[in-house]
Amino acid sequence: MKLTYIGTAAAEAIPGLFCECSFCEKARKLKGREYRRRSGAVINDDLMIDFSPDAYTGTLSLGIRLNELKYVIFTHSHADHFSLKELEYRRTPVFCVLPEDREKLKVFGNRNIEDGLKKYYGVYLPDQGFEFTFVPPYVPFQIGQYTVTPLSAHHCPPEDAYIYLIESNGTTLLYANDSGMLTEPTFEYLKGRKLDIVSLDCTLGHSLHETGHMGFKANLKVKKILEENGCIKDDTVFVSHHFSHNGLRADEPGEIDWTYDNFMEMAKPHGFIMSYDGLVIEK
């Protein structure tokens, strides 16, 4: 399984669209890994997790082509993950030219994703180059080589936001954003399953809060519980992901700005790495 991070920031990106905070100014100077697009990832070349407003520029700059994309799974309907208008450009023949026998893009998500698509596309929904399927939480479904299971996350109730367990050819990925501390039913579902890659929401960075989003302390808590529950192997890769300038910035005495280098140095002893735009993990 080849997991490529297309974007790794929260909604306003880093540097923030209109922000002049000290961290965003630092990011503008350092560039490179301090620049973060809105979050999303692609597995191999055919399964995309979320379609962010930066999906176009992100895939273009990383050399990822979307003509072979077969599936998109959405975590939730916040605009930084669900750029629903972009899906329109999958329509043939006007917006893209593809072989006639190319199957429609298959799109999956919760009821809010379904409602959003119905509202935007209206009666033209069946004419699009994609087709939507509602998927309930905790029920695995098969798409090509992938077994995908949506798990409920505590992020934006009453919406049932999902994180995803994705299994393919003996490799298992837990892709978890946006989420607060993982829910009891989710920990219960994961019990005893061996995870190869664990990608966790770290929007809140330095903060100890764990409602709606997580900070690094909450990431450590998740790791500990997964270890106790028998989910971890010797070579499991833990990734902190989905960052906000507000979480990375040193606001309190004793904190330092969590630039890429600083975060990696801090996180390494805990067995975590920091996602960045273009990070590839192969397992």
Residues that bind Zn ion (CB under 5 A): 16, 19, 21, 24, 78, 80, 178, 245
Q: Which residue's CB is nearer to Zn ion, number 5 or number 168? A: 5
**CA distance linking residue 130 with residue 127, whole number of Å:** 8
Q: Please calculate the CA angle 176-108-45 and round it to the nearest 5 degrees.
A: 75
Taking the complex as a whole, the smallest distance from the CB of residue 269 to Zn ion amounts, in Å, to 28
Q: Which residue's CB is nearer to Zn ion, number 214 or number 232? A: 214
Taking the complex as a whole, the smallest distance from the CB of residue 123 to Zn ion amounts, in Å, to 29
Taking the complex as a whole, the smallest distance from the CB of residue 199 to Zn ion amounts, in Å, to 13
**CA distance linking residue 195 with residue 70, whole number of Å:** 24
Q: CA dihedral in degrees (57, 37, 237, 149; nearest 10)?
A: -80
Taking the complex as a whole, the smallest distance from the CB of residue 175 to Zn ion amounts, in Å, to 13
User: DSSP letters along the chain, please?
Assistant: -EEEEEE-B-TTTBTTTT--SHHHHHHHHH-GGG-BPBPEEEETTTEEE-B-TTHHHHHHHHT--STT--EEE-S---TTTB-GGGGGGG-TTTT----TTPPPEEEEE-HHHHHHHHHHHGGGGGGSSEEEEE--TT--EEETTEEEEEEE-SSSTTS--EEEEEEETTEEEEEE-S-SSPPHHHHHHHTT--EEEEEEE-TTBT----SSS-BHHHHHHHHHHHHHTT-EEEEEEEEEE-B-HHHHS--STT-----HHHHHHHHGGGTEEE--TT-EEE-
Q: Which residue's CB is nearer to Zn ion, number 4 or number 128? A: 4
**CA distance linking residue 277 with residue 279, whole number of Å:** 6
Dig out the tokens for 18 from the structure: 């209109």
Taking the complex as a whole, the smallest distance from the CB of residue 49 to Zn ion amounts, in Å, to 12
Taking the complex as a whole, the smallest distance from the CB of residue 180 to Zn ion amounts, in Å, to 11
Q: Which residue's CB is nearer to Zn ion, number 19 or number 125? A: 19
Taking the complex as a whole, the smallest distance from the CB of residue 216 to Zn ion amounts, in Å, to 17
Taking the complex as a whole, the smallest distance from the CB of residue 220 to Zn ion amounts, in Å, to 21
